[in-house]
A and B are shown apart, each in its own frame.
Chain A
Amino acid sequence: DGGITQSPKYLFRKEGQNVTLSCEQNLNHDAMYWYRQDPGQGLRLIYYSQIVNDFQKGDIAEGYSVSREKKESFPLTVTSAQKNPTAFYLCASRFTGGWDTEAFFGQGTRLTVV
């Protein structure tokens, strides 16, 4: 079953703890993205990566970190520096063979800080 998989679906974190969200794709896509979704605010870009070992900050990168050691994987770490981490997080990937390619999304991870 090809696609993009996020895990876990639900995640609870205590204040002051770091937590890592997993995103794996078997679509052979070079570009990968992390978005945060809050009610009424759409999809806000956290980080994105066009190729292995390279990534860029999006519009709301503060308090987050990523790595891109493998083409298939783009994990997102929500650090204790993120002041309001409770949100729905979506990962996406995209083929870079052309500039007009479709982005495919994972099913999302809902993070709750308790």
Chain B
Amino acid sequence: GENVEQHPSTLSVQEGDSAVIKCTYSDSASNYFPWYKQELGKRPQLIIDIRSNVGEKKDQRIAVTLNKTAKHFSLHITETQPEDSAVYFCAASIMDSSYKLIFGSGTRLLVRP
């Protein structure tokens, strides 16, 4: 079955610096890759996603890149702010009738003021 690995488990950056979180997936049939942000005590919420037919997607300070050949995708946050501090999860979904959605182990991002 699908397996998603996520690194690093924790990441500490200075405010204004960039942060990069990387994920790899095992099933080449995966074709949808969302990223979720979970603030302390709150539910995970979608922040950005990418389809397998796209190599990169940007939304203001966040971007996601996908390398299908290497089966990895990354989240990039530029000009980090303290409110970016949270746990970030990557996920992968296969385009079949199961709609199975597998998450990575999460990255705790701390942005130091």
A interface list, Cβ under 8 A from B: 31, 33, 35, 40-45, 48, 50, 56, 58-59, 90, 92, 94, 96, 99-100, 102-103, 105-108
Contact = CB atoms under 8 A, between A and B. Distances in A.
Q: Which of B6, B93, B95, B99: most chain A CB closer than 10 A?
A: B99
Contact of B43 (A58, A96, A107): A107
Interface stretch (B14-22, B58-66, B102-110): B102-110
A105 B89 contact: no
15 contacts: A31-B99, A42-B103, A42-B105, A43-B44, A45-B100, A50-B97, A58-B100, A99-B31, A99-B95, A100-B32, A102-B34, A103-B34, A103-B91, A105-B44, A108-B43
A99 to B, nearest CB: 4
Chain B residues touching A, range = 20 to 34
Interface in B16-61: 31-32, 34, 36, 42-46, 49, 51
B6 A45 contact: no
Contacts of B106: 40-43
Per CB-CB distance, the 8 closest pairs between chain A and chain B, nearest first, are A42-B105, A43-B103, A105-B43, A99-B95, A42-B106, A31-B99, A100-B32, A102-B46
B98 interface: yes
B43 A41 contact: no
A90 B89 contact: no
B102 A45 contact: yes
- Residue among A41, A42, A45, A50 with max Cβ neighbours from chain B (10 Å): A42
B84 to A, nearest CB: 19
**Most chain B C-beta atoms within 10 Å of own C-beta, residue among A41, A105, A106, A107:** A105
B1 interface: yes
